[in-house]
A and B are shown apart, each in its own frame.
Chain A
């Protein structure tokens, strides 16, 4: 059986500015990010023959390919479940390249969620299943849906608001080192956190990700090709997608154990196909639409035991120099919320040694996509 292990690499990354409002449309932003990523790789756009995106992306490969002047495209895919699909784009491109379907793949995200509409405000586009069971009762927003799991998590395992603050603070501290981050000049204190307004109690303002306009992209090629590119290759060591048995999406209240989310399934697949273990991970970029997703994911991906995710965050564990430096660009909580694509590009920066919050000698990085929905993950190495 053909293996994906280290057979492909991310060789280019690109991004636009991140802001609450950017003037250019999403298509223009996407083209800018993609062309920047190709330039970073040193690959001519006419060589691009594969595209991968994930849902809630409004730009499509037809428009992008003709705009950037791509060649004949022989592979394209779109993964479902919004933020759960971020890492899967790279996984799909890796599989396409290893199986000979394409040679130069682009994954991208362009989104104007900062200045655009909040998806949950659409009263007509309710998915019948499972919205009929939740939305009439005022469980409207992702913050409400995850807040429900969070309250139960706090009740069962003694996770506290201080634990959630540790997550928010680590991300904010990294953003304060990153001039591209929306929260670059905005430090966070415990008092600010503890007195912030509620969004969906037990989640407060700082437990929620940002709302951002911006675009990002990366270029994936074979490991052989990667050695001829401009920068040190970042190898795709292992990949996983995960739809756990009896999973119900963001409102995962109907499984036997709703606190073991898709991260657990993704982790089993990721580690099974890797030469590495959680102890070998130097730095992690974990999907942080909401702070509680971090302790839940730390458990799922095996950095600690069941119910220990809250305690793991103490003692500066998530800071630079800690046990597991986290979301070193500031993540979705404090750099930009672009459905997790900035976690992929930041992983590449860490493994090139060019992050604004560099973990000395970082050689392995875990990247995860949205937890609480059908998800995906990448284990990258230099």
Chain B
């Protein structure tokens, strides 16, 4: 668990600093599952996770499995100045993906050519708003796994 307390990976990438509401997301991700918080009373999905449902105010929630399919909602190509670990891979892409289950549920991530490939592994000219993507999982450090995205039509 020591890596969870660290701020960065050995090569300087930031690890998610989880809060209590978000912890289940990361625990499911570590098992290779993409799950999003849903209200146990009215059934609405919500993201980012929070203590109660903004629609029906129920405090009961569950973590619903997602198909892992989505579309690129937008993207940027960051260039330096950046933190050193990111600068070493710049320009890379950062994307927002909307999930097919609910286009209002959007996840920030990276589109890569393989789960453990570099942040800049995809030719940026392949990126399009609306392109279909599928989730994969990458272990950043011991006990810390993040979802990443691969193009459905590589």
Chain A residues within 8 Å of B, Cβ to Cβ: 118, 121, 123-124, 126, 128-141, 143-144, 147-149, 151-152, 155, 197-203, 246, 248, 251, 253-256
Interface size on B, residues (CB 8 A): 42
In the assembled complex, B39 has its CB within 8 A of some CB on chain A: no
Q: List 17 A-B contacts (CB under 8 A).
A: A124-B7, A132-B19, A133-B48, A136-B14, A136-B146, A137-B108, A137-B110, A138-B82, A138-B89, A139-B94, A140-B14, A140-B86, A144-B94, A148-B96, A152-B129, A198-B77, A200-B79
With A124-B7, A149-B74 known as contacts, the answer to whether A253 contacts B129 (CB < 8 A) is: no
CA distance A256 to B17 in the complex (A): 26
In the assembled complex, B21 has its CB within 8 A of some CB on chain A: yes
Using CB atoms, name the residue of chain A closest to B8.
A123
B86-100: contact bitstring with A at CB < 8 Å (1 yes, 0 no)? 100101101010000
Using CB atoms, name the residue of chain B closest to A245.
B54
A286 to chain B, nearest CB (A): 23
Interface centre among B19, B21, B140 (most CB of A within 10 A): B19
In the assembled complex, B76 has its CB within 8 A of some CB on chain A: yes
For window 1-54 of B, CB contacts with A under 8 Å fall at 7-8, 13-19, 21-22, 26, 47-48, 54
Contact B7 A200 (CB under 8 A): no
CA distance A53 to B28 in the complex (A): 42
Q: Residue B104 contacts which of A131, A137, A149, A256 (CB distance < 8 angstroms)?
A: A256
Chain B residues within 8 Å of A, Cβ to Cβ: 7-8, 13-19, 21-22, 26, 47-48, 54, 73-79, 81-83, 86, 89, 91-92, 94, 96, 104-110, 119, 129, 140, 146
B8 to chain A, nearest CB (A): 6
**B54 — which chain A residues lie within 8 A by C-beta?**
246
Q: Residue B108 contacts which of A124, A201, A251 (CB distance < 8 angstroms)?
A: A251
CA distance A138 to B108 in the complex (A): 10
Using CB atoms, name the residue of chain A closest to B119.
A138
B51 to chain A, nearest CB (A): 11
With A197-B79, A198-B91 known as contacts, the answer to whether A138 contacts B104 (CB < 8 A) is: no
Contact B110 A138 (CB under 8 A): yes
A95 to chain B, nearest CB (A): 29
Q: Residue A140 contacts which of B48, B82, B91, B96 (CB distance < 8 angstroms)?
A: B82
**A129 — which chain B residues lie within 8 A by C-beta?**
19, 21-22, 48
B139 to chain A, nearest CB (A): 12
Contact B96 A253 (CB under 8 A): yes
B26 to chain A, nearest CB (A): 8
CA distance A36 to B79 in the complex (A): 40
Q: Residue B14 contacts which of A126, A155, A198 (CB distance < 8 angstroms)?
A: A126
B21 to chain A, nearest CB (A): 7
When A and B form their complex, which 9 residue pairs have the shortest distance between CB atoms, in order from nearest? A128-B19, A152-B74, A201-B77, A147-B76, A132-B16, A139-B94, A198-B79, A123-B7, A151-B74
CA distance A140 to B83 in the complex (A): 8
A24 to chain B, nearest CB (A): 26
CA distance A134 to B74 in the complex (A): 14
Contact A151 B79 (CB under 8 A): no
Contact B83 A123 (CB under 8 A): yes
**B14 — which chain A residues lie within 8 A by C-beta?**
123, 126, 135-136, 140
Contact A128 B18 (CB under 8 A): yes
**B79 — which chain A residues lie within 8 A by C-beta?**
197-201
Contact B21 A138 (CB under 8 A): no
**A141 — which chain B residues lie within 8 A by C-beta?**
78, 82
**A255 — which chain B residues lie within 8 A by C-beta?**
104
B86 to chain A, nearest CB (A): 5
**A251 — which chain B residues lie within 8 A by C-beta?**
108
Contact B106 A138 (CB under 8 A): no
Contact A132 B18 (CB under 8 A): yes
CA distance A80 to B82 in the complex (A): 26
With A128-B19, A201-B91, A254-B104 known as contacts, the answer to whether A136 contacts B76 (CB < 8 A) is: no
Contact A138 B94 (CB under 8 A): yes
**B129 — which chain A residues lie within 8 A by C-beta?**
151-152, 155
Contact B19 A133 (CB under 8 A): no
B102 to chain A, nearest CB (A): 11
Contact B76 A200 (CB under 8 A): yes
CA distance A137 to B148 in the complex (A): 9
**A203 — which chain B residues lie within 8 A by C-beta?**
76
Contact B76 A151 (CB under 8 A): yes
With A128-B18, A136-B16 known as contacts, the answer to whether A248 contacts B76 (CB < 8 A) is: no
